[in-house]
Amino acid sequence: MRARDRTAVSALRTTLAALDNAEAVPADETVAHGPALEESPVGAGATEAARRALDERGVTDIVRAEAAERLEAAARLTAPAHADRAVRLRAEAAVLLRFLDGHGAP
């Protein structure tokens, strides 16, 4: 990462975003309407919804899904004009799979 590997940075950023999204509470699980104004909570973070906690398996499943998504997209890019994009997607998938194998961490 110190060498500013753009492929790794791209793969890790989007995967971290996917993990963050997975921890979010869906809108239908939150209260659609709140109490009266005078009963509203005050203070920093008073309106924050509790996030889900992912276990190790949940994280692994999301990372695998992100890698699979990249490999599927690369397989669909068969036109010569998209060869560079397909190579980049395969490289991003390899980065993610390397982290799952335990060899991607510094």
| Per-position pLDDT tens, the chain of length 106 | 555 789 999 999 999 999 999 988 776 654 555 566 566 666 665 566 678 889 999 999 999 999 999 999 999 998 999 999 999 999 999 999 998 887 555 4
Q: Tell me the Ramachandran region of residue 42: left when phi exceeds 0, alpha when psi lies from -120 to 50, beta otherwise.
A: beta
pTM score, two decimals? 0.72
| Alpha carbons within 13 A on the beta-carbon side of 101 | 9
Residue given tokens 């690369």 in the structure block = 74
